[in-house]
Structure 1
Amino acid sequence: MTVLVLRALGLGDALTGVAALRGVRRAWPGHRVVLAAPRPLGQWLADHGIVDAVLPAQGLTRLPWPWAGPGGAQDAPGCLAVNLHGRGPESHRVLQATRPDALLAFDNTDAGHIGPDWDENEHEVLRWCRLVRSVGGHCEPEDLRLGPLDPPGGRGQESTGAQQGGRGAVLVHPGAAAEARRWPAARWARVVHALAAQGHDVVLTGSEAERGLCARVRLEADAGDAVRDASGRLGLPALADLVSTARLLVSGDTGVAHLATAYGTPSVTLFGPTPPALWGPMIDLPRHLVIWHGDPDAPPRDPNAGRLDPALAQVPVDEVVAACESALTQPPATGNGTTTPSGSDRPSSRHAAPSPAPSAPG
């Protein structure tokens, strides 16, 4: 029997779903797990053994099922379907169209499906783990991990290969998919300048579409060869390898931050419209500093809005530089304890109190 799982979203969404995907395997041992997701992302997860195969999908498009996967072997018409994409009804209907033998999904009257209740205030990782645990698929935040807590040789510049290809470097990722989560380039440049002035080897990362942004940050940082620009030149496997051996990752609330969580790489993450209590790190918390100036009592804001979020706009350069210095000068904690982010309702630089989050895609 095949278990067809839908999570046709981006990098951060895929990584926050890894724990639940491992729970799917435990719920149905011996079954073939097929992930409906963007091809490069799904294949990368398959290469890690998280799933067995990827059915290329982007968003809530019709899934060709039964599907002839690699080698031409076609799946049987029946399947078990798992919706890790959203609360429905659209995503429920995409899976219902495959005529599954059973559907695991959150309760949605419009889709005619009965299941566990959706909780707006639940952390993204815990939400999907709860769904899978409802059918006996044990999973927890520790299942997010994709590698050892530390690479062989440690994370310092003395590590093997530390001076080659960015290994052991401080990575700065200034971009994000939406304007709401993009801290201004001029501020990123000042952070990069400060890191380079302290003698750190800095590497800028970003997508092909973010090459112009990274070029601007590097130019305005005015730090010469101390800053290298790798934007637009790294596929997902290469980016993951770079993050896994970095001394520190500094970024906004975007997919690459979840790579730092997966590999236990120390990080500083700037949050804006979404509270870190709902999308922030869930494991190795002493390694991950989060900066958020939001108000948990305010109504939720759109993380995909077309203008800079006010909470992110309030983050000053000095606070980010100080967080980087703290992360780089303190030895990373080695404890593996899992803690739900919590804290005061005032701006903080670790964990923030929860507030309602925007609904997941349908």
Structure 2
Amino acid sequence: MNDFNPLRDAVPLQEVQRVLVIKLRHHGDVLLSSPVFSALKAAAPHVEIDALVYADTAEMLTLHPAIRRVHVIDRKWKKQGVGHQLKQEWALLDTLRAARYDLVLHLTEHWRGAWLCRLLKPRWSVGCTRVDAGRAWHRSFSHLYKVSGGLPRHTVERNLDALRRIGVRPALADRALQLVPGAEAEARVRQRLTDAEVSGPFIHIHPASRWFFKCWPAERMAALISMLQAQGHQVVLTAAPSRDELAMVGAIQAGLARPVPSLAGQLSLKELAALTGMAQAFVGVDSAPMHIAAAMAVPVVALFGPSGEKQWGPWSARARVVASEHHLCRPCGNDGCGGGKVSDCLENLPVTQVMAALQDVLQT
């Protein structure tokens, strides 16, 4: 017989028609949930799968081939007054109720997901175990999956554990990140590259993160770019439109004898993905753009300091993580040494080590 299943309470996917996946976190976290949709669709092609994310992260999932609709919660609702927020929240709840989901997968420890499972009343609901939560949390779900407490596992695998808990075994082919820029974003990026007089192969460098304790010093990034220029490589810089990130790009440009084209602060997430997909390789730090580069299947060089690459490294076979070989205290998870916002393990990371990793991935 071929119907043996050691998981006695596996969800019978043939009885599932509509699924809601909730991922209320930052941009990179949302992108790292994309294999959940692919794997579930591969296991049950007939199901309609929706997502619920924060509005500013929606571009990480829109156009995903396995997703029917992306519902959003806009964190700006609060700024427009309590009345406006309640109106929007109620409208969202009505929309979700109307979908009549059979299965809800909640991929974080956010309480909103637990309460939504209670309000939507799906036949099956999946959430993670929480040692810090009481009965209200655990009784919100029909199935609970364990969060690894021992050896670190990549966030992609931890997300996929929600599927494993209900009897779905994701195939290796379905575990890749999925991000679709779309034809319009690709066309806009091609025009921007033309306007910036970039033609032919180029290396995409995104030097910043919203958390600056994860960043390599601007002078070292400038030294890397100078080495690349000396070898005849074109470089394109990007950054988020925040004042700090734009200032960092300015400091890098100031350290170059020949400034490089910059699209810093000019690109949407879809356009950033399109740009990365056109590049020879990507160089960056632990950040959402690094995860975007992994999703676009380009060679990636990722610089890691206090954060852990086993949990958050680029999810790609075409990636190299560069980290200090001399700071045995990493990864510490701290916001800089002593909480000082500056990480010695990154400050002392040599340019030659990063350059060697880049040359390695360019040859693969």
User: TM-score if structure 1 supplies the norm length?
Assistant: 0.74
Listed as ranges, the matches of 1:132-147 within 5 Å are 132-140=163-171, 142-143=173-174, 144-146=176-178
**Equivalent residues, number:** 307
Structure-2 residue corresponding to 1:46: 62
**Is residue 83–residue 91 contact of structure 1 (8 Å, CA) maintained in 2?**
no
Match of 2:147 among 111, 114, 118: 118
User: What is the Cα-based RMSD across aligned positions, in Å?
Assistant: 3.1
Match of 2:129 among 107, 112, 115: 107
**Is residue 31–residue 60 contact of structure 2 (8 Å, CA) maintained in 1?**
no
Secondary structure of the 1:8 match is: coil
Letter paired with 1:42: A
* Percent of aligned pairs sharing the same letter: 23
Tell me whether 1:81 sits opposite 2:104 in the alignment: yes
**Is residue 249–residue 268 contact of structure 1 (8 Å, CA) maintained in 2?**
yes
Tell me whether 1:229 sits opposite 2:256 in the alignment: no
Q: 2 CA distance for matches of 1:81 and 1:303?
A: 34
Q: Unpaired segments of 5 or more residues in structure 1?
A: 149-160, 333-362
**Is residue 35–residue 178 contact of structure 2 (8 Å, CA) maintained in 1?**
no
Q: 1:89 to 1:236 in 2, by over 3 A?
A: closer
**Is residue 275–residue 292 contact of structure 1 (8 Å, CA) maintained in 2?**
no
- Deviations 1:327-346, CA, capped at 9 Å, x for gaps: 33x2x2xxxxxxxxxxxxxx
Structure-2 residue corresponding to 1:95: 116
Q: 2 CA distance for matches of 1:89 and 1:8?
A: 7
Listed as ranges, the matches of 1:87-236 within 5 Å are 88=109, 90-96=111-117, 98-101=119-122, 102-108=124-130, 109-110=133-134, 111-113=137-139, 115-120=144-149, 121-140=152-171, 142-143=173-174, 144-146=176-178, 168-209=201-242, 210-224=245-259, 227-236=260-269
Q: 1 CA distance for matches of 2:28 and 2:301?
A: 16
- Deviations 1:122-153, CA, capped at 9 Å, x for gaps: 211111112212223332554324489xxxxx
- TM-superposed deviation, 1:165: 5.1
Tell me whether 1:280 sits opposite 2:332 in the alignment: no
- TM-superposed deviation, 1:92: 4.2
**Is residue 276–residue 290 contact of structure 1 (8 Å, CA) maintained in 2?**
yes
Q: 1:83 to 1:300 in 2, by over 3 A?
A: farther
Q: 1:138 to 1:9 in 2, by over 3 A?
A: same
User: TM-score if structure 2 supplies the norm length?
Assistant: 0.74
**Is residue 186–residue 220 contact of structure 1 (8 Å, CA) maintained in 2?**
yes
- TM-superposed deviation, 1:94: 4.5
Q: 1 CA distance for matches of 2:329 and 2:250?
A: 38
Structure-2 residue corresponding to 1:66: 93
Secondary structure of the 1:105 match is: strand
Q: 1 CA distance for matches of 2:286 and 2:117?
A: 32
- Deviations 1:19-70, CA, capped at 9 Å, x for gaps: 12222334554333221113354245231324211111257x996543448x
Tell me whether 1:324 sits opposite 2:358 in the alignment: yes
**Is residue 141–residue 283 contact of structure 1 (8 Å, CA) maintained in 2?**
no
- Deviations 1:214-253, CA, capped at 9 Å, x for gaps: 12211212214xx101111111222111111211111001
Q: 1 CA distance for matches of 2:126 and 2:197?
A: 46
- Structure with the higher fraction of residues in helix conformation: 2
